[in-house]
Amino acid sequence: KNQVEQSPQSLIILEGKNCTLQCNYTVSPFSNLRWYKQDTGRGPVSLTIMTFSENTKSNGRYTATLDADTKQSSLHITASQLSDSASYICVVSGGPAGGSYIPTFGRGTSLIVHP
């Protein structure tokens, strides 16, 4: 069964500090991996998307890495801000036909940034 596991479940850091969120997946075949940010009461917003051939992708202070061999991804947040407080969701797409449409969502990591 396709699965996406995220760790930690929750994280509290001080403003200005860096942090790294982890995502392990068993989805096969693999098409792409996405990281989303979801603010409380809002829909998810895409941060990065990577295919098999990409091992790093940045979006401002957010940098995602992908190791397709070990089926692991990480999201690194640099110089955290209060507005980074949100849930971060890892999503992996792929399916029996190799299509990119059937996604498997992780449960998310809840990040709280304290002043």
Partner 1 sequence: NAGVTQTPKFQVLKTGQSMTLQCAQDMNHEYMSWYRQDPGMGLRLIHYSVGAGITDQGEVPNGYNVSRSTTEDFPLRLLSAAPSQTSVYFCASSYSRGAKNIQYFGAGTRLSVL
Q: Which residues bind partner 1 (CB under 8 A)?
A: 4, 31-32, 34, 41-46, 49, 51-52, 89, 93, 100-108
Residue 83 backbone phi and psi in degrees, to 5: -70, -10
Residue 17 CB, shortest distance to partner 1, in Å, is 26
The token pair that represents 109 in the structure block: 């990591």
C-beta closer to partner 1: residue 65 or 80: 65
Residues 6, 108: contact at Cβ < 8 Å? yes
C-beta closer to partner 1: residue 5 or 67: 5
Residue 79 CB, shortest distance to partner 1, in Å, is 27
Sign for the pseudo-dihedral over CA of 107, 64, 15, 84: negative
User: What's the CA gap between 75 and 70, in Å, rounded?
Assistant: 16
C-beta closer to partner 1: residue 17 or 107: 107
